[in-house]
């Protein structure tokens, strides 16, 4: 088995253990058992239980990549497609279940709070923020905190649906044809706001 395959199997097992047992009761022994691998293999890939769960949260919720280049002719369409791609990943049922478990555990576990805090601080370099940085630079917008604008747009689109899915007892669904018009409207409003509020004054 290739190392990347072993790694993903271990992360799948860690996600299952977290959701079934909670962080405190989760152990490297239980993750090893669920992954059908030895504890020695786990420690060869992850330094500690905290390192394992840090990697789980980072890889499954924060380090989302999408192959987008910048379309100068239709940035609104490209940004909409980017958000749809991100939403299709982040709002998958297994990701929503993981988010629910983390919210529950964050109330009781200092480790989980530390993991989420450190990832939030390090999560500024993501595909959405990178896209916005390039777009704002090209358009000549003067923005000091691009991540703040990325968070705004995320909240208007994916974040709103995430809250609905987290509050709903049934499994979340993701239907592009229903969500696209909503995202297109949000992107148009967002880009118009950037143009009105962030463009550098003419010399």
Give per-residue pLDDT as tens, 7-66. 999 999 999 999 999 888 999 999 999 999 999 999 999 999 999 998 998 888 766 666
Token digits for 31?
């993750």
Q: What is the structure's pLDDT at 6?
A: 92
Q: What is the structure's pLDDT at 147?
A: 85
| Helix residue ranges, H only, the chain | 3-21, 28-35, 39-45, 49-57, 75-90, 93-106, 110-122, 127-139, 146-154, 160-167, 176-198
Q: Mean per-residue pLDDT for 89-100? A: 84
Predicted TM-score (pTM) of the model is 0.77
Q: What is the structure's pLDDT at 71?
A: 66
Residue, of 89 and 47, whose pLDDT is higher: 47
Mean pLDDT of the chain: 84
Rg (CA), the chain: 19
Rounded to an integer, what distance in angstroms lies between the CA atom of residue 106 and that of residue 81?
Answer: 32
Token digits for 27?
């152990």
Token digits for 193?
């706001």
DSSP single-letter state for residue 141: B
Token digits for 49?
């239980």
Rounded to an integer, what distance in angstroms lies between the CA atom of residue 82 and that of residue 66?
Answer: 7
Token digits for 202?
């003419």
Rounded to an integer, what distance in angstroms lies between the CA atom of residue 161 and that of residue 164?
Answer: 5
Stretch among 16-30, 37-51, 161-175, 185-199 having the lowest mean pLDDT: 161-175
Rounded to an integer, what distance in angstroms lies between the CA atom of residue 151 and that of residue 129?
Answer: 9
Rounded to an integer, what distance in angstroms lies between the CA atom of residue 51 and that of residue 59?
Answer: 12
Q: What is the structure's pLDDT at 35?
A: 95
Does residue 183 surpass a pLDDT of 90? Answer: yes
């Amino acid at each position: 088995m290739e190392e990347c395959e072993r790694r993903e199997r271990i992360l799948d097992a860690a996600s299952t253990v977290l959701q079934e047992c909670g962080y405190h009761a989760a152990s490297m022994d239980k993750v090893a058992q669920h992954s059908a691998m030895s504890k020695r293999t786990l420690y060869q890939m992850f330094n500690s239980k905290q390192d394992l769960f840090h990697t789980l949260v980072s890889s499954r919720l924060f380090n989302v990549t999408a192959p987008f280049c910048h379309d100068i002719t239709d940035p609104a369409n490209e940004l909409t497609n980017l958000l749809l791609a991100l939403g299709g990943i982040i709002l998958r049922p297994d990701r929503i279940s993981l988010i629910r478990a983390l919210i529950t555990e964050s109330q009781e576990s200092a480790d989980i709070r530390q993991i989420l805090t450190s990832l939030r601080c390090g999560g500024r370099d993501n595909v959405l923020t990178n896209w916005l940085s390039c777009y704002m630079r090209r358009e000549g917008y003067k923005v000091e905190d691009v991540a703040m604008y990325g968070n705004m747009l995320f909240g208007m689109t994916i974040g709103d649906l995430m809250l609905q899915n987290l509050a709903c007892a049934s499994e979340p669904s993701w239907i592009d044809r229903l969500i696209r018009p909503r995202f297109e409207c949000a992107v148009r409003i967002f880009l118009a706001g950037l143009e009105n509020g962030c463009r550098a004054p003419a010399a």
